[in-house]
Amino acid sequence: MAILSNDNHIDPELENTLPLNKQQSSAPPENNMEIVVLVDAKGIITYISSSISSLLASAPEAIVGCHVRTLLHPDDFEPALWAGSSVEQAVSESQEGEYRLRHKDGSWHWFEGKRMNLLAVPGVGAIACTFRTISQQELAPRLHWSEIYTSKHFVQFYENDAFLIDSVSSFLGTGLETGDACIVIATQEHLLMLEEQLRANGVDLLRASAQDKYIACDVNTGLALFMVHGLPEPERFSQAIGGMIERAAQRGHHIRIFGEMVAQLWVEGKPDAAVRLEELWNNLYHNPYAFSLFCSYPMRCFAGEIYREQFSRICQLHSHVIPDESYTSLAQIDERLRAISSLQQKAGSLVAEIGERKEAEKQLKVSEDRYRRLFETSKDGLLIVDADTHLITDVNPSVTELLGYPREQLLSRDLWHSSIFQSQEISQTAWQEALEQPSSRYDALPLQTRDGQIRYVEFVSNRYRANGHEVIQCSLRDVSERKELDKRKDEFISMASHELKTPVTSLKGFLNLVQRRSMKQGDEKILHYLARMDMQINKLTALINDLLDLSRMQTGKLIYREETFLLDELVREIVANIQETTQTHRLILERQTHATVFGDRERIGQVLINLLNNAIKYSPRADTVLIRMANDQQKILVSIQDFGIGIAQDHHLRIFERFYQVTEPAEKTYPGLGIGLSISSEIVRRHRGQMWVESRKGEGATFHFTLPLTDEGKRRASL
Amino acid sequence: MQSKQKKILVIDDEPDILEFLQELLRQEGYAVAVAERAEYIDTLCDNSLPDLILIDVLLSGKDGRDIVRRLKSQPETEHIPVIMFSAHPGAEETVLAVGADDFVAKPFEMDEILEKIATHI
């Protein structure tokens, strides 16, 4: 809602919520009271501001391209200046004067004009003219009621009552006809005249009155409702007048008010009280009902210079100023007219501001609608909580669907006492955290629905300020299904690996039996074959275990044992085992430390096996793999270097991702599941170590990983 | 050679596994009884009690751990060493928790099984 404050400044609250406002108030220098025209050296109009449509009813596009003589009155038009090629010299640099411009209906309207010769200015090359309205037609009759209805608060100055009653009866009469509700607070005399005029215009006042569509009140009765010690009392004013507006609002969608209370105060010689009352009226626009307020002042109130300032103040308090009837005659254009004209322009700037605010409101409405739509249709449950009171101020349909509570049962509730967050300790903690922390997040938070079931949600809370209020926005994404699927997948992989291992166990068992028999018979060849089979069965077992590990890592179920062990020993053992499986490569253990580490010996062994097997696999033309160990005071470093195909820089980070495979043609000839490095780096990470690779394509690769030393290891390292 | 043959009872729902374990353990000089069904345990009487039991965790409709829990809670059988095996490497903790004396992950090496049996028998 547009709000007019007495100092013409944008309401600070609006300013906060509307970043657009600043930009808009510094918008183009054009306004509705001024026409800007650019004319080229040949007198052709190249640009005209859109204000021409409101001032002269012509469309800008109908004027652009025409000669300037079609717009200017022949008497004001200096042919010599615009004709021919001598324009550049003929037009002086800057000139001011009064001009008549042609209205679309053929009539002529007076403007104050200013002309600047910018023909020689690069990038402009035109004569710029600005025409500012001064003609009497622009001052009074142009302000049709239809325009004024959209205005919030306007003032009419008048010299005789008949003129005023004419205006007011038109204002109220059209309102009653179109279904608006009307309130009149006027002097007894004006009330009688007004009602007589309305009846004469065919308005059924009795009926309107019976329907509460027409509320009339004597000005003194009105004032008595809220005046205290000669000044209007804000609380009483808003109760009395606000109440009246509320009553009327139930009858009509828009409300028109004619009020003379301010004028009465003015007449009584209480200008301060009058100005204060105008301000209170303006404050009433904060209430949710739309109304137009018509104020009137007899011109005699402003007789004499001393009232000049007060007159100006009154004008400034209104969005629109309608000068008194004496200005309808062109013959009377004089200093007072000019004074009024400038006041009108002051009010005009308010009209422009109202326009801007309306635009801003529209924008706000658009963005509000957009937000609302998002809010209402979001699949995620959204819950808005007041940070001070902890009461829920809004929920979207997804929340009510998820939790099974109707919206009304959630609104204005403090969730702390509800069973939603109370069923489990983690949920209590999460809710407390959401209320206290700027933001929080839970991947799978159990919430209890109305019928007592537990739903798992991804819970995210954010605290922010909106309209000067701290609010907490919580989003709830139902992950029960995902959790269930994860569980099923986990069970499946677990079961699958069990099913795969059972035949492998049998294969291995019978193989062992055959091996024993062959050993007795001393058949070396058979024994060799059986050893190969055994090795392949071990590889198969390792693959099955990898799949199982990967699934367990994802669900956080991989169990790590913790023990202190000598890494040297483990490395020697693994290197020896792998060496047995390869005839193509020599594994060279170059350097060792005597460091002890704390962790899962078997899992670290798995990392070493994986890295050594990779080193062999990806260096088919090489014959060496180097293993080095080193330590500092804090950690131990293990490096495994091969001389194989190498890895391009682009893949250095990604090779540790799950299922990642380097897909270049050469690498495609090395099949694998793409899970070994992912598992290895996760194991190292869980031991608070790091894993990385140094490599260039075609130049081999060195995989490094670190593990923290035990306290004992650190003590030894410092010796 | 042992003065008296030690008796080992093997329970697994996979006949192949029973077959090679039976053969292998016999070669090692043990007396071996095998059963596919857990109910076999119920038919044991004083004079047929084994010196060691090898039992799988998942037994087609029965959980081997329940059986071990029962064996370990009865005075007549609580002294019998029990080694459990499973294809779930994570089963080790649960197995030890019900009172089993040892655990072997499937697939296993013969030597591994024989070593474990030797330590408990």
pLDDT digits (tens, 9 = 90+) for A74-86: 777 665 455 444 4
B107/A512 Cβ within 8 A: no
CA distances from A466 to A18, A27, A530, A643 (A): 12, 27, 75, 62
What are B91-112's pLDDT values in tens digits? 888 999 999 999 999 999 889 9
Segments of chain A scoring below 70 in pLDDT: 1-32, 77-94, 122-124, 134-151, 252, 286-289, 302-310, 312, 315-316, 319-354, 666-668, 713, 716-719
pLDDT for B53 beyond 90: yes
Q: Retrieve residue A225's tokens.
A: 């409702």
B88/A505 Cβ within 8 A: no
Is the Cα torsion angle A64, A66, A70, A75 positive or negative in sign?
positive
Which residues in chain B are contacts of A501 at CB distance < 8 A?
Answer: 87, 106-107
Q: What is the pLDDT of residue A578?
A: 93
A509/B89 Cβ within 8 A: no
Choose among A494, A501, A548: nearest Cβ to B107.
Answer: A501
Inter-residue contact A446 to A426 (CB < 8 Å)? yes
Choose among A498, A508, A557: nearest Cβ to B87.
Answer: A498
B75 Cα to chain A: minimum distance (Å) = 33
Which residues in chain A are contacts of B106 at CB distance < 8 A?
Answer: 501-502, 504-505
CA distances from A300 to A157, A369, B30 (A): 9, 50, 130
> Starting from the edge strand earliest in sequence, which strands make up the sheet with A153-158, in order?
A214-218, A181-186, A255-259, A291-298, A153-158, A320-322
C-alpha to C-alpha distance for A106 and A100, rounded to whole angstroms: 11
Q: Retrieve residue A184's tokens.
A: 């009149």
Interface of B with A in 89-108 (CB under 8 A): 89-90, 93, 106-108
C-alpha to C-alpha distance for A204 and A173, rounded to whole angstroms: 10
Choose among A505, A552, A559: nearest Cβ to B17.
Answer: A505
- Tell me whether B9 touches chain A (CB under 8 Å): no
Please give the interface size between A and B, counted as residue pairs whose CB atoms are below 8 Å apart: 57
Nearest chain A residue (CA) to B21: A509
- Tell me whether A541 touches chain B (CB under 8 Å): yes
3-class SS of residue A478? strand
B21 Cα to chain A: minimum distance (Å) = 7
B96 Cα to chain A: minimum distance (Å) = 15
Q: Retrieve residue A415's tokens.
A: 């969730």
C-alpha to C-alpha distance for A604 and A198, rounded to whole angstroms: 98
- Tell me whether B49 touches chain A (CB under 8 Å): no
CB within 8 Å of A140: residues ≥ 6 apart = A322, A323, A325, A327, A328
A494/B88 Cβ within 8 A: yes
Q: What is the pLDDT of residue A319?
A: 64
Which residues in chain B are contacts of A513 at CB distance < 8 A?
Answer: 20, 23-24, 110
Q: What is the pLDDT of residue A17?
A: 37
Which residues in chain B are contacts of A537 at CB distance < 8 A?
Answer: 107
Q: What is the pLDDT of residue A142?
A: 37
What are A329-372's pLDDT values in tens digits? 333 434 444 555 555 555 555 556 667 777 777 888 888 888 88
- Tell me whether A505 touches chain B (CB under 8 Å): yes
A637 Cα to chain B: minimum distance (Å) = 29
A500 Cα to chain B: minimum distance (Å) = 9
CA-wise closest residue to A385 among A395, A373, A371, A374: A395
Give me the residue label for tokens 């021919």: A84
Query: What 8-state DSSP symbol labels residue B19?
Result: H
A505/B87 Cβ within 8 A: yes
- Best interface-test mutation with B: which of A490, A499, A512, A514 has the largest number of B CBs within 10 A? A512
Which residues in chain B are contacts of A548 at CB distance < 8 A?
Answer: 89
Choose among B14, B21, B90: nearest Cβ to A502.
Answer: B14
CA-wise closest residue to A449 among A504, A399, A374, A507: A399
Q: What is the pLDDT of residue A211?
A: 84
User: Could you tell me how far CA B107 lies from the centroid of its own chain?
Assistant: 15
Strand (E) or helix (H) holding A15? helix A12-17
B78 Cα to chain A: minimum distance (Å) = 28
- Tell me whether A228 touches chain B (CB under 8 Å): no
Nearest chain B residue (CA) to A504: B107
Give me the residue label for tokens 């010196």: B51
Q: What is the pLDDT of residue A680?
A: 94
B17 Cα to chain A: minimum distance (Å) = 5
Q: What is the pLDDT of residue B99?
A: 94
pLDDT confidence tier of residue B3, bands split at 50, 70 and 90: low
- Tell me whether B112 touches chain A (CB under 8 Å): no
Burial of A134 (0-12, 13-18, 19+ CB in 10 A): buried
Q: What is the pLDDT of residue A490?
A: 76
- Tell me whether B61 touches chain A (CB under 8 Å): no
Q: What is the pLDDT of residue B50?
A: 92
A505 φ, ψ to 5°? -60, -45
Over A37-98, what HEC string results? EEECCCCEEEEECCHHHHHCCCCHHHHCCCEHHHCECCCCCCHHHHCCCCHHHHCCCEEEEE
Which residues in chain A are contacts of B14 at CB distance < 8 A?
Answer: 502, 505-506
End-to-end CA distance of chain B: 14
A497/B14 Cβ within 8 A: no
Q: What is the pLDDT of residue A362?
A: 81
CA-wise closest residue to A70 among A110, A49, A62: A62
Which residues in chain B are contacts of A602 at CB distance < 8 A?
Answer: none
Over A204-221, what HEC string results? CHHHHHHCCCEEEEEHHH
B109/A504 Cβ within 8 A: no
State the complex-level ipTM.
Answer: 0.89
Give me the residue label for tokens 């509730």: A413
Give me the residue label for tokens 């004001």: A76
B74 Cα to chain A: minimum distance (Å) = 31
